Amino acid sequence: MDILTIKLRFGIIGNSPTLDRAIDIARQVSPTEITVLITGESGTGKEVFPKIIHQLSARKHGPYIAVNCGAIPEGTIDSELFGHEKGSFTGAHEARKGYFEVVNGGTIFLDEVAELPLSTQVRLLRVLETGEFMRVGSSNVLKTNVRVVAATNINVIDAIRNGKFREDLYYRLNTVPIIVPPLRDRKEDIVLLFRKFATDFAEKYRMPALQLDDEAQRVINNFRWPGNIRQLKNLTEQISIIEKSRNITGDIVRKYLPESYSSDLPVLLKRENPVGDHSERDILYKILFDMKKDITDLKKLVIEILENEDNKEYFPNEKERILEKLYQEVEPVVSNTNVKTKPNKVNIEEIEDTEEYIEENLSLEKKELDVIIKALEKYKGKKRQAARELGISERTLYRKIKEHKLDE
């Protein structure tokens, strides 16, 4: 059976190459007994692929059941899947067969398989490896011949790293992966799907079908569709019922799109912890202090080298070149602190004078001390109000007071 025939049979709409690839893989693995793991975002239509695999396999006349693992409570999931014996737990008034026993000879689709508890994952792994399982409350080993197709919309690798999914089970399920593409990666299919849904709802509600103008088509093509096909279908139904006009414009479509997803532009998140900003300010102060100290130490070192008589003997012409290089490196750093630029004639005395001037203007520590003292005086020693005035945390203010010995 070719891909087009499969689409017609299972009602799949779209011509995206990534969608065709997923269908082709499902078609190829259907005749085998290979376990398949289907991955994709919520709402992409993963549930249709297990049906394709089952209907095109030798098990097509056997039972088929889809189980949403995330919808079954953790306390009863083992009973649902593997059955239980009478009296095995409170409320077990009689023995019950589980899905793996009922679907013997058929196919079971485990949707949201990553939601299974770890203890249940161990039981599932045993079924996949040996076909054996035990009912809850029983020690008798039962056999089953079931093909498992699983699906999930989460990143299983991250779940493994976080200890929420067994790595051995992942590799056992993921014999052949099928990746269902999100709707935003199938832009050529979005308008086709909208028209299909609009036609279906027109027949259901006995009204004319919606018609999208060019702007409306552009709007839905550029939307990210975080809910994928399910979201597009819901939006089409809303517009079909609420809007009186059958000619849909871009403005009409925008009214039904969530504002938080209406743009593909990056979103800037507001920091919720203002203390983090003050910590960055403290780091900046420290960097500036260290930079000032490094520049001063460098200048002193160069002056010592140039004043050394032995160095004058070996480097008689290097004095002016070194000083030239020093000013080229230092001047951009200190230019914002009102430091004098390079003098017309360089000599040792001028470097020493400039050094004193740099020390005076780069004294951020002294300026910080003055600001803290003024804030404390303004609020008569009330540290909480002073910290708020300074834009730092009260804890940081206490630390600054201790550093500057203001509490003595």
Looking at 85-99, 181-195, 357-371, 373-387, which range is the least confident one? 357-371
pLDDT at 31: 95
pLDDT at 83: 94
The winner for highest mean pLDDT among 177-186, 308-317, 365-374, 388-397 is 177-186
Check if the beta carbon of residue 41 is closer than 8 Å to that of residue 182.
Answer: yes
Integer Rg of the chain from CA: 36
pLDDT at 329: 56
Q: Which of 151, 154, 200 is nearest to 176 (CA)?
A: 151
Distances (CA, A) of 370 to 38, 363, 376, 391, 405: 65, 11, 10, 15, 13
Percentage of the chain lying above the pLDDT 90 cut: 60
Instruction: Return the number of other C-beta atoms located less than 10 Å from residue 129's C-beta.
Output: 11
pLDDT in tens, 29-64: 999 999 999 999 999 999 999 999 999 999 999 999
Counts of helices then strands in the chain (DSSP H, E): 19, 9
Q: Which of 392, 200, 127, 181 is nearest to 283 (CA)?
A: 392
SS3 37: strand
Check if the beta carbon of residue 376 is closer than 8 Å to that of residue 352.
Answer: no
Q: Which domains does the chain have, with CATH numbers?
A: 3-181 (3.40.50.300), 184-261 (1.10.8.60), 279-362 (no CATH), 365-403 (1.10.10)
More confident position, 1 or 133: 133
pLDDT at 26: 97
Task: Decide: residue 140, CB within 10 A, 0-12 exposed, 13-18 middle, 19+ buried.
Answer: exposed
CA distance 232 to 44: 10
pLDDT at 245: 92
Task: State the SS3 of 50-109.
Answer: HHHHHHCCCCCCCCEEEEEHHHCCCCCHHHHHHCECCCCCCCCCCCECCHHHHCCCCEEE
More confident position, 46 or 359: 46
pLDDT band at 325 (very low <50, low <70, confident <90, very high): low
- Mean per-residue pLDDT of the chain: 82
Average pLDDT over residues 370-390: 83
More confident position, 313 or 178: 178
Looking at 52-56, 213-217, 259-263, which range is the least confident one? 259-263
DSSP 162-225: TTSS-HHHHHHHTTEEEEPPPGGG-HHHHHHHHHHHHHHHHHHHTSPPPEE-HHHHHHHHHS--
How do the residues of the chain divide into helix, strand and coil, expressed in percent and rounded to 5? 55, 10, 35
Check if the beta carbon of residue 147 is closer than 8 Å to that of residue 108.
Answer: yes
Q: What is the DSSP letter of 152?
A: E
More confident position, 405 or 362: 405
Is the model's pLDDT at 340 over the cut of 60?
Answer: no
Average pLDDT over residues 328-340: 50
**Entry pTM:** 0.63
pLDDT band at 328 (very low <50, low <70, confident <90, very high): low
Is the model's pLDDT at 166 over the cut of 90?
Answer: yes
Is the model's pLDDT at 7 over the cut of 90?
Answer: yes
For the chain, the distance separating the N- and C-terminal CA atoms, rounded to the nearest angstrom, is: 89
Percentage of the chain lying above the pLDDT 70 cut: 75
Is the model's pLDDT at 338 over the cut of 50?
Answer: no
Is the model's pLDDT at 337 over the cut of 60?
Answer: no
Q: Which of 379, 324, 334, 380 is nearest to 354 (CA)?
A: 334
pLDDT in tens, 280-293: 556 666 676 667 66
Average pLDDT over residues 196-225: 95
pLDDT at 281: 58
Check if the beta carbon of residue 40 is closer than 8 Å to that of residue 182.
Answer: yes
Is the model's pLDDT at 299 over the cut of 90?
Answer: no
Is the model's pLDDT at 358 over the cut of 60?
Answer: no
Average pLDDT over residues 85-97: 88
